[in-house]
């Protein structure tokens, strides 16, 4: 199993999930270049101007470790990264587990609900430029959406703030202004869509869109709220993944 973190995060965010699968799977964790403990000297603005560059990171990890029959678990933007990687090298992947996926965050009425108007995204990007700390303080609790556990929002905020602001800004643009709806029907690998019941980043309509257009997909709507169920609701997250993988083997 390869676990890929979302925007502004790092591999440590999976710590509540991975122990549940260590007995049955070889676990691989990594940080994208520019995130977490990665070597910032390896960062290439051109490569990471689009999500294809991050998909190359995933494939590089798989090649270096000679990984095959991979169950890829991607959070948020990494869901699309996983789709891109699977399209390019389908022979490496057996399943995609997509946690809070969205192929496009911008509304295109009346046909598509992504959750944001383009002006909303541009305002957030502008806030990153003007007041990065303020942006992190505003976004983290909204993304986590579990006010009863403020320590989770605090951890996400610290993760945002530990990322180089210039790199974070570029990653945000590559994430939130992208539209990868055109690739969804090309994904050749069976997938699980894990959709939180209340999520401002990936609303329920996005899960419905993916279930309709993503071949060989299964949609699981979670009781969990927020955009990071692997942190806020790890037990439910683990159980849904376990059930899906068990059914896949049956």
Q: Block means of pLDDT (10 residues each) for the chain, length 250 residues?
A: 95 97 97 90 94 96 97 98 98 98 96 95 93 91 92 93 89 95 98 96 96 98 96 97 89
Closest CA to 227 of 116, 153, 132, 131: 153
What's the pTM? 0.96
> In the CATH scheme, what is the code of domain 2-249?
3.40.50.1820
Q: Looking at 102, 199, 230, 232, which residue is catalytic? A: 199
Q: Is 76 a catalytic residue?
A: yes
**Cβ contacts of 83 within 8 Å, gap of 6 or more:** 96, 98, 103, 180, 183, 184, 187
Closest CA to 163 of 2, 3, 12: 12
Cβ distance 5 to 78 under 8 Å? yes
Q: Is 227 a catalytic residue?
A: yes
Question: Token match 């699968």: residue?
Answer: 21
Q: Is 111 a catalytic residue?
A: no
Q: Looking at 76, 78, 102, 191, which residue is catalytic? A: 76
User: Could you state, in order of their start, the residue ranges of all structural domains in the chain?
Assistant: 2-249
Name the strand (E) or helix (H) holding 3.
Answer: strand 2-4
Cα 199 from Cα 100, distance rounded (Å): 8
């Amino acid at each position: 199993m390869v676990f890929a973190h979302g925007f502004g995060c790092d591999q440590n965010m999976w710590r509540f999930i991975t122990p549940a699968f260590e007995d049955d799977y070889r676990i691989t964790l990594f940080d994208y270049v520019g995130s977490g403990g990665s070597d910032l000297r390896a960062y290439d603005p051109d490569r990471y101007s689009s999500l294809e560059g991050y998909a190359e990171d995933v494939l590089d990890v798989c090649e270096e470790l000679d990984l095959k029959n991979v169950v890829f678990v991607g959070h948020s933007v990494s869901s699309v990264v996983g789709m891109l990687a699977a399209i390019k090298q389908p022979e490496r992947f057996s399943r995609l587990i997509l946690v809070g996926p969205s192929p496009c965050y911008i509304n295109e009425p009346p046909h598509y609900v992504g959750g944001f108007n383009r002006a909303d995204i541009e305002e957030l990007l502008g806030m990153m430029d003007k007041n990065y700390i303020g942006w992190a303080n505003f976004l983290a609790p909204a993304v986590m959406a579990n006010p009863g556990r403020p320590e989770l929002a605090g951890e996400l905020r610290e993760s945002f703030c530990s990322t180089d602001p210039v790199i974070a800004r570029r990653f945000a643009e590559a994430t939130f202004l992208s539209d990868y709806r055109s690739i969804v029907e090309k994904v050749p690998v069976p997938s699980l869509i894990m959709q939180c019941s209340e999520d401002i980043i990936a609303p329920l309509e996005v899960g419905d869109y993916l279930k309709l257009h993503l071949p060989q997909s299964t949609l699981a709507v979670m009781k969990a709220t927020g955009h990071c169920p692997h942190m806020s609701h790890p037990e439910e997250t683990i159980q849904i993944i376990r059930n899906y993988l068990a059914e896949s083997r049956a």
